[in-house]
Chains A and B, each alone.
Chain A
């Protein structure tokens, strides 16, 4: 019986000495494995980055809620209760949810003895993240402003420029109906659009004023990924109904852009996985055909070995071990390659690669390549072990 140590030594030696013949197969498998691990490891990372950073997605992950009572005269105005907001925030797949008033049109603002009509919205501290906005100057409204109902204001980029000129807004005081407000920041971002002409006040501060009946009847819900949008949108109406009157609830989801993103990503993923599958199938086929050729070319060797007392099982084991050495060796090469790729991608995306995820995928790939090699090598090995000795020895 063949000892494992001898078996491994002989097989690795054989694979290495076969040289060029196996190089192509080894490279194909290595590249396939590297691609698979890199894509699998970085896939979530890339998706997260897209969802978080790419406002080019058109805010497709934001669900907008409101009430439509104005189109039904005589009905009682509705607003979102805090229990509703909490329940929505606790929903699986929800990143943040922001409560805000509807737009208050053209509140008169006094600045340097002149009145300006300015659109205003009352918002909470989650608004910025939810809508993908960021401070260009100064700061954004925070929890303290909300809790203290301070008289502070964040202005849209365009409004700030019109009133005060570029870069001079922070620290200015102006009055809305005799109350003085301080500009603490200027907000911008790709998603700002018409909000660039708005002034944002803390929700509570605005609600306190009572006039113009600003109610918190807007709820913006940002989902974690585009895959979460559908289930979240499906869950929301029930949640609202469970916590408060939900008559005339209106929900806007950017289904169009969402579908487009999903389609693009789906195709990209499909393409990547197809090419990986193709590489692996080709790798498996490569092992199979390489081993078949090898068995045919080494007919005489097989005959000699059997003549000197090798059992069928020894021959079988030897060819399986060679196949395994080839598959595992190539996959290990692929893991090394993937490490480089992942490290490179990580530094390109500016995030630390998730190494535990990488390790788990690498482990799986090694297992899989071992299985692939054994499966692909099985038939050639069986043929070798079944070979008739005398035919093999007479073979020239």
Chain B
């Protein structure tokens, strides 16, 4: 895939000079240093790197869940840090879909109820919800599990439900933190192809954190995060 055609329209995410440090006790851990990133609609970006380098941190910042120490961030043409708490929540409702590293589902709920929450928060009318939920579950091949208690699903199924939940609102940005970490290779591949399909058809951008080269292979751009610096990987590590 090539996105050269998109570049004329301007990025949906533009990050410049982003720094983030954590203070734990007397020490200060600098996690992100001068990170620059442009993300265009239709982009599918992989972020790779060793454990503990700040990949999740970067996703949290992109998802407006965490404030950086310094730097600028514009999302869909707006200054992300000037939005205010409530404005940021509204952005998350409408434009961002999250898949976290683990334990994504609500306890004591069914698959349906899990997917209903984002729709409830963004004020989708009850009669429209069922259709959207079914459609999102279809994408991950779980529409037959609609009324299943979430905690009785297998780890892989749970992760697929989480992916469906991230998609149900048709967000313009999908942020996924090792979404295939708990899936077998075949399932992981399948899910990534779903993502690729959505990204290309829905004017969506996706940023995925992964350790898996085969996941990165599906993406059009791959970045490495090391020592706090985000650098484009020239050589897309092809799976052996």
Listed in ascending order, the chain A residues whose CB lies under 8 Å from chain B are 1-3, 5-6, 10, 14, 17-18, 298, 300-301, 304-312, 314, 389-390, 393, 396
Say whether B70 faces chain A, with CB atoms less than 8 Å apart: no
Say whether B120 faces chain A, with CB atoms less than 8 Å apart: yes
Say whether B179 faces chain A, with CB atoms less than 8 Å apart: no
What string of 1s and 0s marks CB contacts (under 8 Å) between B93-110 and chain A? Answer: 110101010111011100
Q: Are B107 and A307 in contact (CB under 8 A)?
A: no
Task: Please judge, given known A-B contacts A1-B123, A3-B123, A301-B107, whether A308 and B92 are in contact too, CB under 8 Å.
Answer: yes
Which residues of B lie under 8 Å from residue A312 when comparing CB positions? 85, 89
Q: Are B89 and A304 in contact (CB under 8 A)?
A: no
Bound-complex Cα distance A314 to B123 (A): 12
Which of B85, B91, B100, B120 is in CB contact (< 8 Å) with A2? B120
Q: Are B108 and A307 in contact (CB under 8 A)?
A: no
Which residues of A lie under 8 Å from residue B122 when comparing CB positions? 309
Bound-complex Cα distance A309 to B86 (A): 9
Query: In this complex, what residue of A is CB-closest to B123?
Result: A1
Say whether B29 faces chain A, with CB atoms less than 8 Å apart: no
Which residues of B lie under 8 Å from residue A300 when comparing CB positions? 103
Which residues of B lie under 8 Å from residue A18 when comparing CB positions? 108
Which of B94, B102, B106 is in CB contact (< 8 Å) with A309? B94
What string of 1s and 0s marks CB contacts (under 8 Å) between B62-102 and chain A? Answer: 01011000000000000000000110011111101010101
Q: Are A2 and B121 in contact (CB under 8 A)?
A: yes
Which residues of B lie under 8 Å from residue A17 when comparing CB positions? 108
Say whether B188 faces chain A, with CB atoms less than 8 Å apart: no
Which of B89, B96, B104, B107 is in CB contact (< 8 Å) with A311? B89
Bound-complex Cα distance A18 to B92 (A): 29
Q: Are A314 and B85 in contact (CB under 8 A)?
A: no
Which residues of B lie under 8 Å from residue A306 when comparing CB positions? 65, 89, 92
Query: In this complex, what residue of A is CB-closest to B177?
Result: A393
Say whether B54 faces chain A, with CB atoms less than 8 Å apart: no
Bound-complex Cα distance A148 to B213 (A): 119
Bound-complex Cα distance A396 to B96 (A): 23
Query: In this complex, what residue of A is CB-closest to B104?
Result: A304
Q: Are A309 and B65 in contact (CB under 8 A)?
A: no
Query: In this complex, what residue of A is CB-closest to B168?
Result: A308
Which of B60, B66, B86, B118 is in CB contact (< 8 Å) with A308? B118
Query: In this complex, what residue of B is CB-closest to A309?
Result: B93
Which of B92, B102, B104, B120 is in CB contact (< 8 Å) with A3? B120
A301 vs chain B, min Cβ distance (A): 5
A385 vs chain B, min Cβ distance (A): 11
Bound-complex Cα distance A17 to B149 (A): 12
A and B contact pairs by CB, cutoff 8 A, 11 listed:
A305-B117, A306-B65, A307-B98, A308-B92, A308-B117, A309-B89, A309-B96, A309-B118, A314-B121, A390-B65, A396-B102
Tell me the dominant secondary structure on chain A's binding face: helix
Which residues of A lie under 8 Å from residue B63 when comparing CB positions? 307
B77 vs chain A, min Cβ distance (A): 19
Bound-complex Cα distance A314 to B121 (A): 8
Bound-complex Cα distance A103 to B127 (A): 89
A210 vs chain B, min Cβ distance (A): 93
Which residues of A lie under 8 Å from residue B103 when comparing CB positions? 300, 396
Given contacts A308-B165, A310-B89, 17 further A-B contacts (CB under 8 A): A3-B120, A6-B120, A10-B120, A300-B103, A304-B100, A307-B63, A307-B65, A308-B92, A308-B117, A308-B118, A308-B121, A309-B90, A310-B121, A311-B86, A314-B121, A389-B60, A390-B65
Bound-complex Cα distance A10 to B113 (A): 9
What string of 1s and 0s marks CB contacts (under 8 Å) between B114-149 and chain A? Answer: 000110111100100000000000000000000000
Bound-complex Cα distance A393 to B106 (A): 12
Task: Please judge, given known A-B contacts A308-B121, A309-B93, A312-B85, whether A389 and B65 are in contact too, CB under 8 Å.
Answer: yes
Query: In this complex, what residue of A is CB-closest to B114?
Result: A304
Which residues of A lie under 8 Å from residue B85 when comparing CB positions? 311-312
Bound-complex Cα distance A310 to B106 (A): 14
Residue from A301, A308, A311, A389 having most chain B Cβ neighbours under 10 A: A308
**What 6 pairs between A and B have smallest CB-CB spacing?**
A309-B93, A309-B92, A17-B108, A308-B118, A389-B65, A311-B89
Query: In this complex, what residue of B is CB-closest to A10?
Result: B120
Which residues of A lie under 8 Å from residue B90 when comparing CB positions? 309
Query: In this complex, what residue of A is CB-closest to B100?
Result: A393
Which residues of B lie under 8 Å from residue A14 when comparing CB positions? 108
Query: In this complex, what residue of A is CB-closest to B122?
Result: A309
Which residues of A lie under 8 Å from residue B106 when comparing CB positions? 301, 304
Task: Please judge, given known A-B contacts A1-B123, A2-B120, whether A308 and B93 are in contact too, CB under 8 Å.
Answer: yes
Bound-complex Cα distance A234 to B157 (A): 83
A345 vs chain B, min Cβ distance (A): 41
Which residues of A lie under 8 Å from residue B102 when comparing CB positions? 396
What string of 1s and 0s marks CB contacts (under 8 Å) between B174-218 and chain A? Answer: 000000000000000000000000000000000000000000000
Bound-complex Cα distance A312 to B107 (A): 20
Residue from A18, A305, A390, A396 having most chain B Cβ neighbours under 10 A: A390
A266 vs chain B, min Cβ distance (A): 49
